[in-house]
Amino acid sequence: MHPQVRLDRPGDCPICEMPLIPASSAGTSGEAPMLRLSDHALAMASVETAEVKRRVLNHELRTVGRIEFNESSLATIAPRFDGYTQRLFVSVTGVTLRKGDHLAEVYSPEVLLAQKELLLLLDGGASTSMVDLARRRLALLGLTEAQVQALAERKELTDHVTLYSPVGGTVIEKGLVDGAAFKAGDVLYRIADLDTVWAQLEVFEPDLPWVAFGQSVRLTTESYPGRIFDGRVSFVRPSVGDTTRTISVPVVIENSDHALLPGMFVSATINATLRADGHAASTQPNGQYSCYMHPQISAVGPGECPKCGMPLELIHTTASASHHHTTAPPEPLRSPSYVCPMRCEGEKHYPDLIRCPVCKMKLVQVEAPSAPETVVTSDVPEDANDVVAVPATAVLDSGARHIVYVQKKPGLFEPRELTLGPKAGEYFLVISGLSPGERVAIRGGFFIDSQFQITGHPSLLYPGGLVEPPVHAHGGTASTAAPQITPSPVVPPAGSSGHKH
């Protein structure tokens, strides 16, 4: 009941007065603590073990989202001159336009003056450079090349100028009415191309490791039962919503038949595969290229981005991500150097052979590297889909630590603290702490942990164990024997004779 009490002779516990039982030494050797259980104890506790293997960890992430306009396809039509509306050809929102369709007829004194200047230069026999400059001015005001050419051929001023749409798409906003005045820069129309749309998916923070650029997404909507729309994760927005606590993930969807309309709700499914670093792998085919300024752009080979002209970069997928890089050489350790075998303080090194200030175990010596050298590592294993995984039932979680009990020999167990990645079904990704081929207890782990705790060994809730540090002997070295605790006198309760029967 009180494993911190250690005496060198039989007797009663000075705290609870229960009889003392023989105890084995705990936490006094320089090696990691181990516990041996008899076959009978293993059978009574139904302890089972399983081998740690490399396996593919998949996860089906389900979430919801909303269809929105593709931001990269939005266009605004604004005049470059002041004027007045004379006639509207596009008078309602929602209509579909083709590039070059007429929008409205307007009157502008500034355009009329520029036309007159061009005609005067043509009639006066001005130089070609002056005429080209006048043509250029009309083009900068928004007239098409055909309109400028027609004016030069007819040599007649026109009071009304027709505005044409420079892009195709659907009118989503109209800022003009018949007879209204407008200023240069006013928004006359907003146009969106619905051939591609975005599904803004909402992903919670714990699910973020399962989302990666380039992943394939399957979407459904109540408007089209039984129909599946295919999309691709274009990027992950670098912020978390204050109210929803979710991350917005835009998914690009081809929408040539305009079936998906902005404002529709969709359900999405992402089939993700974990990499060894704990992040999801892209499902893009190998050899795909994309522009990091416009991640919705993808191509099968190198080239330039059609929007900004920047060179396309290779998308690192599950198989193509295993490129090598050179790391800086490690700093040489001082010789000799010592570290705690339980790694209570991580990889902290001590210059002297002392005891760990946390668990009081003897430090072990660490061999210093013979000479600094350049280390070439790989970002991912040879098979990036093949990762070390441990059954979830083997992991004991205290909220601050994750440990498993490794079977070194039949009946002999050792605690091991792990660094885990996301959980996929019945397995955890192991980032560090275990190697393939080791066996861990997948059933009876809490029983084994209780035996470690009772015997004073480091356990789940007590990383340093319950054994007090050895008593310092003056004039000599520290004793390696268990501490001697003198029992305190037991005061009998009032009204009793103090005799024990």
Report residue 163's pLDDT band, with 50, 70 and 90 as the boundaries. very high
Residue range 223-241: mean pLDDT, rounded: 91
Residue range 271-281: mean pLDDT, rounded: 83
> Do residues 368 and 379 touch, judged by C-beta distance below 8 A?
no
* pLDDT tens-digit map of 93-152: 999 999 999 999 999 999 999 999 999 988 887 888 998 999 999 999 989 999 999 998
Residue range 383-394: mean pLDDT, rounded: 82
What are the backbone dihedrals phi and psi of residue 365, each rounded to the nearest 5 degrees, phi first? -80, 140
Which of residues 446 and 381 earns the better pLDDT score? 446
Task: Using the predicted structure, report yes or no on whether residue 264 has a pLDDT greater than 90.
Answer: yes
Question: What is the Cα–Cα distance from 185 to 218, expressed in whole angstroms?
Answer: 41
The pTM (predicted TM-score) of the whole model is 0.65
Which of residues 243 and 282 earns the better pLDDT score? 243
Question: What is the Cα–Cα distance from 259 to 305, expressed in whole angstroms?
Answer: 28
> Do residues 262 and 94 touch, judged by C-beta distance below 8 A?
no
What's the chain's Rg over C-alpha atoms? 38
What average pLDDT is seen over the chain? 79
Report residue 336's pLDDT band, with 50, 70 and 90 as the boundaries. low
- Helix, strand, coil % over all residues of the chain, rounded to 5: 15, 30, 55
Report residue 302's pLDDT band, with 50, 70 and 90 as the boundaries. confident
Residue range 226-235: mean pLDDT, rounded: 91
